[in-house]
Chains A and B, each alone.
Chain A
């Protein structure tokens, strides 16, 4: 039980996929304009990570070693397609807001990275917890970035005004703001890591 909890907890802070491993940055930057988009993207990615981890862990013995990467990609693409169809059917506004970044979850390095580095070597239950932890870590990172961007770039949070009379810095809501915020946050987390040593 204890090890399972460790697998779960490591993804959130110690091996956070975004800030520590610097994986899957493309969707992180693109959808972090508003917190609600970020949560949608985080949930969609978590779903894909968890189920592809389970699937890969359960079929790892039957996959020949040489073609394992294409096999993983097929598994991942299947779950991404399920997510895409579900989003289209039940959350059309979110689907429109996320746009092409929903199919692009396939090439998110976090998903393939977890399949290759963890699920293909561990048991199903451990992979399930690893997937949930990584998914939540990714979602939290997205929420952090998007909260900063939405507050500074639009003066709002979840579409509600936070600081009345605050003149929003439009550039933060633009692509350049996303790059700036992620750069500074990565630097900040590096500094924390140095301190902790």
Chain B
């Protein structure tokens, strides 16, 4: 475990391989919920929390169940079930313990189950950090950190997009291009700007 590795994970997940603009994970929610800043922020916090926690949980499942019993082919099915159950559990806890927070998240928390970013980061973690050369503790910390950074990257793209789209409300857009199509064109231009970060080399 060293500091450079953390920096690499941080920069590459937020800027170079941004979860939305470069890896195309979680696009549905990105386009659908980015019309205003407030819901966009609520959704981003929910995603940030769930990606981090599900990275931790799926790491444990993979390390202590799937690898010892040689069942890594069950990765997809076990991860999606655990994530779905976890999101449901969080929703119930928040509803009971913090009603104000529950109202802030609204319907966005249950939606996250089907957000590809969450399953995507879990799969990426197992692909990247389970080589023979990575010790157990390091792979755990890297996985959790990568989950957190993917959530941050999602938040960054979401905030930029929602701010642009709020301005767009007053623009005169051809009827056929309204909503989804223009959203994709804007995302394309943002993605082009993020391509500039590709020049970073470590």
Q: Which residues of A contact B (CB under 8 A)?
A: 22-23, 25-27, 29-30, 70, 73-74, 77-78, 80-81, 84-85, 100, 103-104, 106-109, 112, 171, 174-180, 182-184, 186-188, 190-191, 194
B24 touches A106 (CB 8 A): no
Task: Give the contacting residue for A112; candidates B22, B27, B74, B114; CB below 8 A.
Answer: B114
A30 touches B28 (CB 8 A): no
Contacts of A100 in B (CB 8 A): 120, 123-124, 127
Assuming A30-B23, A175-B22, is B175 touching A184 (CB within 8 A)? Answer: no
State the CA gap A194–B28 with chains docked (Å): 23
Contacts of A84 in B (CB 8 A): 73, 76
A26 touches B177 (CB 8 A): no
Task: Give the contacting residue for B184; candidates A73, A74, A109, A182; CB below 8 A.
Answer: A182
A22-B180, A26-B28, A187-B177 given. 5 additional CB < 8 A pairs?
A177-B188, A179-B185, A180-B184, A188-B176, A194-B175
A179 touches B188 (CB 8 A): yes
Does B164 lie at the interface of the complex (its beta carbon under 8 Å from any beta carbon of A)? no
Does B138 lie at the interface of the complex (its beta carbon under 8 Å from any beta carbon of A)? no
Q: Can you list 17 contacts pairing A with B, beta carbon distance less than 8 Å?
A: A25-B24, A25-B31, A70-B84, A70-B85, A77-B77, A77-B80, A100-B120, A100-B127, A112-B114, A171-B195, A175-B22, A178-B24, A182-B184, A183-B177, A186-B184, A190-B175, A190-B177
Query: DSSP majority for the B interface?
Result: helix
B80 touches A183 (CB 8 A): no
Q: Which residues of B contact A (CB under 8 A)?
A: 21-28, 31, 73-77, 80-81, 84-85, 114-116, 119-120, 123-124, 127, 174-177, 180-185, 187-189, 191-192, 195
B73 touches A85 (CB 8 A): yes
State the CA gap A74–B26 with chains docked (Å): 21
State the CA gap A191–B56 with chains docked (Å): 46
A81 touches B77 (CB 8 A): yes
Contacts of B24 in A (CB 8 A): 25-27, 29-30, 175, 178
State the CA gap A171–B183 with chains docked (Å): 18
A26 touches B25 (CB 8 A): yes
State the CA gap A32–B185 with chains docked (Å): 17
Assuming A74-B77, A104-B120, is B177 touching A109 (CB within 8 A)? Answer: no
Contacts of A190 in B (CB 8 A): 175-177, 181
B110 to chain A: closest residue by CB: A69
A180 touches B120 (CB 8 A): no
